[in-house]
Chain A
Amino acid sequence: MVLVLALGDMHIPHRAPDLPAKFKSMLVPGKIQHIICTGNLCIKEVHDYLKTLCPDLHISRGEYDEETRYPETKTLTIGQFKLGVCHGHQVIPWGDLDSLAMLQRQLDVDILVTGHTHQFTAYKHEGGVVINPGSATGAYSSITYDVNPSFVLMDIDGLRVVVYVYELIDGEVKVDKIDFKKTTTTTTH
């Protein structure tokens, strides 16, 4: 039972001052084992804050990040799943699911976490699952101003993942979940 937090695109301090208070009250240290951040934090203070939530932090570089040394893509293995992180501004067209699927096959991961569009999506194709946690602060994106703050918490338990989607809609936190299982047969290229 491993809890993995996926979030990103906070754009602090340029586009938003901080995470919403209701999110911050829920995110307490000691519950989460890993954090995956798609990028665009943008400053070191946000990095430090995430570090206090959980020491195991994985970040990929977004185009506005002030820390230049984050990697473009990152892969890690948690339990039976391989996860990949990439900010997504590199994949053109932005947010296009087929192109992201190509990236996923390239990284050879079961779950790809990307951002940049500031919209939550969870998409399944035969190679795996692509999850976009959206923007944790609700900052405006290059595409739209209409953004709800959102992030994702994954509960990895053996071959099964439960993805909890937290969204702030009209000042209230709404939680949904998505269930999926990894099929044990792997696709051969």
Chain B
Amino acid sequence: MKKKAVPEWLNSSIWSTSPAMNSTTTTTTSASASADLVHRYSPSSNPYIYDDDDVDPPAPPPPPPPPDTVRRDVRDRDPGRLGDYDRDDEGPSAEEISRQALLLTEVSKKMINIGELRRLACQGVPDNAGVRPMVWKLLLGYLPPDRSLWPSELAKKRSHYKNLKTDLLVNPSEITRRLEDSLYSDSKESKGPPIGMLKRSEIAHGEHPLSLGKSSIWNKYFQESEILEQIDRDVKRTHPDMIFFSGDSAYAKSNQDSLRNILIIFSKLNPGIRYVQGMNEVLAPLFYVFKTDPDEENTAAAEADTFFCFTELFGGFRDNFCQQLDNSNMGIRSTIARLSQLLKEHDEELWRHLEVTTKVNPQFYAFRWITLLLTMEFNFSDILRIWDFLLSDPEGPQETLLRVCCAMLILVRRHLIAGDFTSNLKLLQHYPPTNINHLLYVARRIICVLQHVILDSYSLGSVSCL
């Protein structure tokens, strides 16, 4: 058996800094310059000089100063101003435009082919076309592929959410008042004499605020108040650099309220998992995308849509958040072990160096990557792009996530191999800004190689049974 060396494609010249680029890279790594305001990619003629040698941020062609990310979400909604920021005279490449056009036509069809949509979305959804909310809703299964069913589906789900809100978001005073109003429907008589001793009345079901009974709504309310406080604290801390989420404006406050409501309702509907810190981070990009939908009607109902999509997305990942499952073969530890195995298959040298030589336990860095779906490793626009890729995978986001993590490790392999425990850990816990298209290209290649490996093992198997 041949010793597993570093795969050939890893050593290809695209990762090096020399200007002689091979043209094959331009197709997938070509600029989505018009779409992305934050990273100014140079057009396909200039090679990407960004590679694992550059840990310092200024490597990509002039990145904007950080304040731009704060104002970005405001500018994002105004596609008319796009031209000001497009410093590339050549604009997006022809393939880019055609791919975006394909995506747009696919989305506007009456009966959408989800498989085709997945394939197109995998390459990235254009930021300024306003189709991302719709694409994500389709990919998550919230909207059916048949366009004619959309209005009824949406109306049904949104009213369901409204009912959930009225049922679950009330405090006990409200509940007792409603109970009474239903019991004493002729409540006009409770006016009583204007002067005199006030009439004492029985309480219903032994419900009073200091009740210690297990089934008492008041008792349950106070027990849940701790979780509510935790949710409140985390919501206030979500993305403090973005005016969409934080700050004193009424807009930010209403967005925070929406996030809070969604998390509270989710925690009440899922008593097994309640609320775990970090769920707010997974929720934030979803809500942002749906709230910045150019369609007015969708923006108004963004909270309801986000709730259902979040439940859907989270369904695949909830095992990672459940503490009891930590050590089982469904929990986070086994997921991290799978990542480790994946790295070993693709880059044994790096794996050996990380785990054996420098003893960097993957739990130190991969935990946050996996549970938070990479939302804390990159800036916001990159997160949206990565999530396009994650959501478009037909096998589900969990598998693709591991591949992206593996790609992240491989991209910085030179630094990792050269570093010791401290520097490696520091690097991985503060992952350097990188070219996202590169990253996703590598992640896609890992899929291909994996399929090759599977095919190889099949062919070997068939030979051996002769």
Binding site for B on A (CB under 8 A): 1, 3, 25-28, 30-31, 121-126, 129, 153, 155, 157, 160, 162, 164-166, 175-180
Contacts and interface: CB of A to CB of B under 8 A. Distances in A.
A150 to B, nearest CB: 12
Given A1-B173, A124-B195, 6 more contacts: A26-B210, A26-B212, A122-B197, A126-B194, A166-B210, A177-B200
Contacts of B172: 1
A179 B210 contact: no
A176 B201 contact: yes
Contacts of B395: none
Interface of B: 171-174, 176-177, 180, 190, 192-203, 206, 208-212, 222, 225
B209 A153 contact: yes
Contact of B200 (A124, A129, A155, A165): A165
B198 A178 contact: yes
B173 A178 contact: no
29 contacts: A26-B210, A26-B211, A28-B210, A30-B222, A122-B200, A123-B196, A123-B197, A124-B192, A124-B193, A124-B194, A124-B196, A125-B194, A126-B195, A153-B208, A155-B209, A157-B174, A160-B177, A162-B173, A164-B210, A166-B208, A166-B210, A175-B206, A175-B208, A177-B202, A177-B203, A178-B199, A179-B190, A179-B201, A180-B198
Contacts of A28: 210
A124 B198 contact: yes
Closest 7 CB pairs of A and B: A26-B210, A122-B198, A176-B200, A1-B173, A157-B173, A175-B208, A1-B171
B201 A177 contact: yes
Given A1-B172, A175-B203, A121 B209 contact: no
A122 B225 CA distance: 31
Contact of A178 (B194, B201, B206): B201
Contacts of B201: 176-179
A153 B207 CA distance: 13
Contacts of B176: 162
A166 to B, nearest CB: 7
A32 B180 CA distance: 23
Contacts of A177: 200-203, 208
B198 to A, nearest CB: 4
B210 A27 contact: yes
A123 to B, nearest CB: 6
B212 A25 contact: yes
Nearest to B212: A26
Nearest to A23: B210
Nearest to B170: A1
Contacts of A122: 197-198, 200
Nearest to A30: B222
Interface centre among A129, A176, A177 (most CB of B within 10 A): A177
Nearest to B219: A31
A30 B209 CA distance: 12
A83 to B, nearest CB: 16
Contacts of B180: 179
